[in-house]
Chains A and B, each alone.
Chain A
């Protein structure tokens, strides 16, 4: 690798996580809430924001756990379980905080807040960070970028779906059917970004 300053790397990793390596549109991670909560813009924004926050925070926690506990003690084979435990506990914690301070957001997120626990985008980000051997500061940029990418994708899809309420969609395609097609077209559009940041 050439001697690029680390802050520049953080920026590149972050931007590429948003566009060229978008969690949902390139890796198809976190599809369940992506299709489930994208009927309404408001709920989509709430869930998207929750994912950004949970993803960034758990990635940081998991990085610390990985480098200071898992590697020194040679518990590499336990990484899945440990990552999941941390994510689950953190989501529980956030659920309590949201219920206390924003009942409206809590009600509109409903079942999807606990579902973030099993959102594969969150675990996926933690595993990518391990595989790609990111440093802590790059992990922050990467997880933030992944979260923002997921947020952007779900908000865009929700916006499109809300517009579609006034369109005449063939009966068999109404609901999830058309959502999957839109998601596919969005994924194609995002492929257009490939190459923009390669070689850096």
Chain B
């Protein structure tokens, strides 16, 4: 009896061990791709270890490609032209690429695995993107679910960015079972303030990065960001501006308004700021002071449904309805939108109905 138990235990564990050994050996054989060479723009050569995706390999080499989702293949921002060596197009990339892009070898760098030598093209402006070590110096509550974080730049000490651009915040491993992730946030601070940046972050229940910012990040902590990224910026024209943003979408608009104040910009501008209830609104005092300091600026907060017991004398309804009521000269204006995809799509629809052309609408979608 004892003998047969011992034999069976021995046999089962031996078979398990043999199979595990075979798997380890094949893992070593199949998963290692050896050193690979990446040729960037036909001039720079990078020697890297194959096996991981191109986006993370480039990040290790301090070349930062814009990515809002942190390499999960959901934002479609990390597009690069890969001239040679990328292998066939993957089903995960297809939804993000137009037929034209597919023909010119544009790929999502987070989905392409480095398996052999690659030849890639990186737009030169991306080399200006750097990694910044910063210290959190201030955390301000804006609303019940939004906070403003101030980060002082330590190394390098200044960041040159265009108002409207965003940075990626690296979330460290703050508890077990979580990987390092990057999340994109627009810069909301005054561009004149060269040694610090501010980000407005709204709590996403269960979100890896926002949970870190709201529950773990403390004043005095050191974090890493990289950037600046993005094409969302004010144009050089004199067309009247319509800003539309809700919630943390205020961030890039706030930065643009600081810039308009600093340069005494006389362009007529109206900012429609939407919230569900009165307690979703924030920074109203700052906006009122902008109304005084920026020559032709008007701030219109809109509350969708004031909660019971809240007093609200301003405009009510959806922010898009307020735009429809108030804007008469849409075809002459330019619109700058920032917020959730739903809000942006609704705003674009209304603006087109009002006679604005799609070329006059600029937006920054939070995916």
Contacts and interface: CB of A to CB of B under 8 A. Distances in A.
A41 interface: no
Contacts of B30: 96-97, 99-100
Interface string B1-25: 0001001100110011001101100
B281 to A, nearest CB: 41
A6 B12 CA distance: 33
Interface string B80-97: 000000011111100000
B88 A93 contact: no
A108 B31 CA distance: 19
A107 B90 CA distance: 7
A178 interface: no
A69 B19 CA distance: 15
A187 interface: no
A78 interface: yes
B26 A96 contact: yes
Interface stretch (A84-92, A133-141, A147-155, A166-174): A84-92
A57 B30 CA distance: 20
Interface residues of B, number: 22
B224 interface: no
A99 B113 CA distance: 11
Nearest to A104: B88
A74 interface: yes
Given A97-B30, A99-B30, A89 B19 contact: yes
A107 B91 contact: yes
Contacts of A108: 91
Given A89-B23, A96-B30, A82 B91 contact: no
A103 B26 contact: no
Contacts of A97: 26, 30
B12 A104 contact: no
Contacts of B15: 65, 69, 82, 85-86
B27 interface: yes
A73 interface: yes
B8 A86 contact: no
B87 A103 contact: yes
Interface in A99-144: 99-100, 103-104, 107-108
A188 interface: no
A54 to B, nearest CB: 15
A108 B88 CA distance: 12
B88 A96 contact: no
A75 B11 contact: yes
Interface string A55-67: 0000000000100
Given A65-B15, A73-B8, A107-B90, 14 more contacts: A73-B11, A75-B7, A75-B11, A75-B12, A78-B11, A82-B12, A89-B19, A89-B22, A93-B26, A97-B26, A100-B31, A103-B88, A103-B90, A104-B90
Interface of B: 4, 7-8, 11-12, 15-16, 19-20, 22-23, 26-27, 30-31, 87-92, 113
Smallest CB-CB A-B distances: 9 pairs: A89-B19, A96-B30, A100-B30, A107-B90, A104-B88, A108-B91, A107-B91, A75-B8, A92-B23
